[in-house]
Amino acid sequence: MASDDLQLATGNRPLLVLVGATAVGKTALSLALAQQFNGEIISADSRLFYRGMDIGTAKPTLAERTAVPHHLIDICNPDETLSLGAYQKLAYQTINEVQGHGRLPILVGGTGQYVKAVIEGWGIPAVAPQPALREVLSGLDGEELARWLRTLDPASQIDPRNTRRVIRALEVTLVSGVPISVLQRKSPPPYTIKVIGLYRERAAHYARIDARVDEMMAAGLLAELEGLRAAGYGRALPAMSGLGYQQLWAYLDGKMALDTAVERIKFETHRFARHQAAWFRRDDPTISWFDAAQSDVGTAVAEQVVAWLSEW
């Protein structure tokens, strides 16, 4: 069966997922897959939410977003926040809408927490932060907090040494009246999921990251940040903690030379890529891995997608 002829049968709820570290090549492959399989792309990259932060986040271009429908990009201003629970809800709504139109939803991203929350159906407690309660809890010592959590939630698997997580667990349990271990139980979504992973060998991947950082600088990353600063968005905002912006803020504040800031961006992006690998492990049997450096990677992935869709 040719991939161009594939149609999504009524009642099937497929979700194609494309994961991998930053700068590995997910964007190009996702565009090709969406065009080949009548798909729409749903971002699972937490940095793509923010309007006006385009260059530093390697956001798909306007031309790319015109060629293929993209979702969950540019949905927040830099001074707004989108919780994991809110993202999960939006992602499910979008996936269902795309499926309802007879098209293939393709979840694409390198933010492991967001991808896993969607495909594994994480239970995410809908309890807003309680500043007054947190202040009281923060005044207790670690052993007392851990003992209290064990009493209220014997099934909790939270490391008692992680005081921040223990306080959050107590906050959720006390406000909701339900142990956080119950609220966090996973409920896999009703989708037939295929996860494709892209990787590159480390040296080649780092070289690709470095080249992309240079391209970002040439494209005007510094001017983008200066514009955001002029618009009133401050350095302390969570959105500004992203790679590139954080280091260039140091330059703008006179704390770092520009060439040093650029080298720091490259170094920190290398480290971030290694961190992403902990979320998407090469030995994970639920992920079909492909070397993005191979010239026929697009064909190889497409063949596997055809086989997956043909199983129904």
CA distances from 134 to 32, 85, 142, 163, 240 (A): 48, 20, 13, 11, 25
Residue 4 has pLDDT above 50, yes or no: no
pLDDT score, position 124: 85
Among 8-12, 30-34, 117-121, which is the least confidently predicted range? Answer: 8-12
Q: What tens digit of pLDDT does each residue of 168-209 get? A: 899 999 998 988 888 888 899 999 999 999 999 999 999 999
pLDDT confidence bin for 150, thresholds 50/70/90 = very high
Topology classification of domain 3-122+188-310? Rossmann fold (3.40.50)
pLDDT score, position 11: 57
Ranges of CATH 3.40.50.300 domains, the chain: 3-122+188-310
- In this structure, what token pair is assigned to residue 97? 């809408």
Among 8-17, 155-164, 237-246, 293-302, which is the least confidently predicted range? Answer: 8-17
Contact (CB, 8 A) for 218 and 152: no
Q: What is the mean pLDDT of residues 101-119?
A: 95
Nearest to 21 by CA among 296, 279, 284: 279
Q: What is the mean pLDDT of residues 232-248?
A: 95
pTM for the predicted model, two decimal places: 0.86
Residue 1 has pLDDT above 60, yes or no: no
pLDDT confidence bin for 2, thresholds 50/70/90 = very low
Q: What tens digit of pLDDT does each residue of 47-101 get? A: 999 999 999 999 999 999 999 999 999 999 999 988 888 999 999 999 999 999 9
User: Percent of the chain beyond pLDDT 90?
Assistant: 80
Q: What is the mean pLDDT of residues 239-246?
A: 94
What sign does the dihedral 269-273-275-279 (CA atoms) show?
A: positive
